[in-house]
Amino acid sequence: MNKEYKVPTWESGVRQLAPNIYAYIQAKATWYWSNAGFIVGNDYVVVVDSLATVGLTQKFKEEIRKITDKPIRYLINTHHHGDHIYGNHVFAGATIISHDYCRREAIEQGIRDPGLMNTIFPEFDFRGIAVTPADITFDMQLTLHMDGREVRLLHFGPGHTAGDIIVHLPAEDIIFASDFIFLYSTPLGMEGSFAGWLRNLNAMANLGAQTYVPGHGPVCGVEGLNLCRDYLVFVQREARKRFDKGMTVDEAAEDIDLGQFKQWPNHERILANLERLWREFRGEDHTTSKLDIAELFLRMDNMAKAGEL
């Protein structure tokens, strides 16, 4: 067993990455526990992502307020998943920026059934969550010029979803990577493209940053990016062998030995990943060949609970 994959512990809270640049990290990397961040300028603050619930986002905002009372002018949404946008309205008054697809998809999906969500994820209080879509959208690149500091929002094509962006601070060699990187938590590719995600990781690595803030997991260097890539390569390869043998997704999920990745929580996500990969192997387009996510959540929940027996 390679010790690099062993899940360490880490603290939740604000981490200063450079002068005026902060990550907001959760001590868990499991379902709906996501990271965020913020950048403090001379006159205003830029926030990177809200969180999964109103309560979690309010706590995040309180942490920002311990550091600065400057107005929060921009809220960047890295993609449309609820754990990055459901608390947007806590930052009322901020101008929200996202990729074009993120805005469209957030509106189309709306909020998930809170009853279902509370049943599957009982540790969260989803009351009051909302979809507050972006005011400004873009396709490939948008740069904020913040007191001479460049804050580059970059899209590299479909990956974790079809509309992910990263926030690159070139002068500081910092990247808010969002769900490009799941670290010590099973990557989830149900709505994107595995081939695309791997290409995106290479494109991101080529930017040469020293510090990455994953969407889930502790702040890391390029080694964190590489561990996430290892999972994607492994699952893509093992899936392909079984797809070529004519196995179903469920048969393959049962058959694949996750090996060192078994240590990472939420390994039931293999089901969602295989559903996506089966479509990708058949050449289907990820933006039109969509999965029934509520149904998938239930199947994954059943698999996780069966694993606990």
Instruction: Determine which residue in the list 15, 81, 229, 267 makes contact with Zn ion, applying CB under 5 A.
Output: 81
Closest approach of Zn ion to the CB of residue 276, in Å: 13
Nearer to Zn ion, 83 or 280 (CB): 83
Nearer to Zn ion, 20 or 185 (CB): 185
Residue nearest to Zn ion (CB): 81
Report the distance separating Cα 74 and Cα 149, nearest Å.
15
* Number of H-type helices and E-type strands within the chain: 9, 12
Nearer to Zn ion, 242 or 286 (CB): 286
Q: Per CB under 5 A, does 105 bind Zn ion?
A: no
Nearer to Zn ion, 81 or 103 (CB): 81
Q: Which region among 53-61, 172-180, 232-240, 270-278 touches Zn ion (by CB under 5 A)?
A: 172-180
* Burial track 84-109 (b if 16+ CB lie within 10 A, e otherwise): bbbbbbbbeebebbbbebbbbbbeee
Nearer to Zn ion, 64 or 165 (CB): 165
Nearer to Zn ion, 86 or 261 (CB): 86
Please count the other Cβ atoms lying within 10 Å of the Cβ belonging to residue 234: 15
Closest approach of Zn ion to the CB of residue 178, in Å: 7
Nearer to Zn ion, 126 or 243 (CB): 126
Helices (H), 80-189: 82-85, 100-109, 114-120
Closest approach of Zn ion to the CB of residue 81, in Å: 3
Contact positions with Zn ion (CB under 5 A) in 2-31: none
- In this structure, are residues 149 and 171 in contact, taking their beta carbons and an 8 Å threshold? yes
Closest approach of Zn ion to the CB of residue 146, in Å: 25
What does DSSP say about strands 149-154 and 141-146: parallel, antiparallel, or unpaired?
A: antiparallel
Instruction: List the beta strands (DSSP E) in the chain.
Output: 13-18, 21-25, 36-40, 45-48, 72-76, 95-99, 136-138, 141-146, 149-154, 166-169, 174-182, 211-216
Give Cα 216 to chain centroid, integer Å: 6
Instruction: Determine which residue in the list 49, 105, 172, 179 makes contact with Zn ion, applying CB under 5 A.
Output: 179
| Residue 127 phi, psi (nearest 5) | -65, 140
Size of the site for Zn ion (CB under 5 A): 2
The answer for residues whose C-beta is within 8 angstroms of residue 88's C-beta and 6 or more apart is: 50, 57, 75, 77, 96, 130, 131, 132
Nearer to Zn ion, 110 or 259 (CB): 110
Closest approach of Zn ion to the CB of residue 162, in Å: 12
In the chain the first and final C-alpha atoms are separated, in Å, by: 24
Closest approach of Zn ion to the CB of residue 161, in Å: 6
Q: Which region among 2-10, 171-179, 197-205, 244-252 touches Zn ion (by CB under 5 A)?
A: 171-179
**Interface ranges with Zn ion (CB under 5 A):** 81, 179
